[in-house]
Structure 1
Amino acid sequence: MKNKVLIKIITGVFVAIIVCFMIRTHILSPIIVYGASMSPTIHDNDRIIVDKLLYKMDDVERFEIIVFKADHTHNYIKRIIGLPGDYIEYRQNELYINGVQYAEPYLDKNVIKTRDFKLEDVANQYQVPEGSLFVMGDNREVSKDSRHFGFISKEDIVGNAKFIFWPDSLVDFFP
């Protein structure tokens, strides 16, 4: 009798561990943010949940916050600014996409002192190539982003950031 109870407990724990592993690997994953490139939206050492499964790579939206593979060992978290075919320009701390000025309410206007640039300054191209995205951090002054490393491939997207769960709160959702 005691052996049957012990086997059920061990089996239950084993199944729970496997389910948690599968959820973390394929559906939702917690990550720790290192650096200030996404301030004031996300801060250094914030913990966020990344949606890996339900996120449709073909359904990316402008201004969405994503996590993507920067190299074999590191992931970056940035905001999508340019979609395939877009022309990106930044003049006098104002964002222009395809010649239209966009408001960026998520930025701390007191901190931004970013040099002007056109997309050709970054990659000698006027448009974001098909299958690629142009991403930027919210803290434009310190962010290492597409202005530095160029476009990212949609295949490199890990998922989109859903919410901060530490230290802020479970209800701090992104737009």
Structure 2
Amino acid sequence: MVEETSSESTKKRKGKSEAWEWLKALGVAVVLALFIRTFLFAPFLVDGSSMMPTLENGERLIVNKLIYYIQDPKPGDIVVFHATREKDYIKRVIATEGQTVEVRNDQLYIDGKPVDESYLKQYKEEARAAGYVLTEDFGPEKVPPGHIFVMGDNRRNSTDSRVIGPVPVKSVVGRSELIIWPLDKIRLN
């Protein structure tokens, strides 16, 4: 009878020890997930059509939050930034501090030099054929220190630096790296 009691208490201790190990592993996993989400990578849902054709409404992507601790945003990067306290936007970096941005006759100029926007070629041609321009004339506008100038790829339907002004680099959350949803559209961005 004494052996049975001893065996039962050993099983209880072993069960408690195993449960404690599982709790510790779960705790470490939660802390690691929070660390990754806070400092390294975060999911983001594209809400709206301002980045079409590059990104479509409802696509989910992974944003690299670490990259801008290592380097500054550069033209062509697709970034997520805090537009307001409640809303984050996703747009393409067009120019960085000290550069001058201008659009004339549907052609983007940075510091007076034309910029090839191959990602918009088809849409510019369609706009021309339909009798309008994709990007209305604006500028020249010089980007102030510590800021970037951003625009959506859907130039006719985008609230971007042409409306809200240059974006402070400190409000940038990170760079879009990977589209993860829908599954048939998984790709590096």
TM-score (normalizing by structure 1): 0.89
Matches within 5 A, 1:1-175: 1-56=14-69, 58-107=71-120, 108-109=123-124, 110=126, 113-119=134-140, 126-168=141-183, 172-174=187-189
Residues 39-76 of structure 1: CA deviation (Å, up to 9, x unaligned): 11111011111111233375221111111110111111
State the 1:11 CA deviation. Answer: 1.4
Structure 1 residues 72 and 57, CA gap change in structure 2 (3 angstroms): farther
| Higher radius of gyration, 1 or 2 | 2
* Cα separation, 1, equivalents of 2:19 and 2:25: 10
RMSD: 1.7
* Cα separation, 1, equivalents of 2:70 and 2:107: 28
SS in structure 2 at match of 1:2:
helix
1:86–1:97 CA contact under 8 A, matched in 2: yes
SS in structure 2 at match of 1:30:
strand
5+ long unaligned stretches in structure 1: 120-125
SS in structure 1 at match of 2:43:
strand
1:87–1:127 CA contact under 8 A, matched in 2: yes
Residues 64-100 of structure 1: CA deviation (Å, up to 9, x unaligned): 1111110111111111101111111112211111111
Give the letter for the 1:135 counterpart.
V
* Cα separation, 2, equivalents of 1:53 and 1:115: 34
1:57–1:157 CA contact under 8 A, matched in 2: no
* Cα separation, 2, equivalents of 1:163 and 1:155: 22
Give the letter for the 1:77 counterpart.
I
* Cα separation, 1, equivalents of 2:183 and 2:158: 22
Residues 97-155 of structure 1: CA deviation (Å, up to 9, x unaligned): 11111111112332563221113xxxxxx411111111000000101000001111111
Structure 1 residues 81 and 57, CA gap change in structure 2 (3 angstroms): farther
Give the letter for the 1:94 counterpart.
Q
1:57–1:154 CA contact under 8 A, matched in 2: no
TM-score (normalizing by structure 2): 0.83
2:95–2:150 CA contact under 8 A, matched in 1: yes
Match of 2:6 in 1: none
SS in structure 2 at match of 1:26:
helix
Identical residues among aligned pairs (%)? 37
Q: How many residues are paired up? A: 168
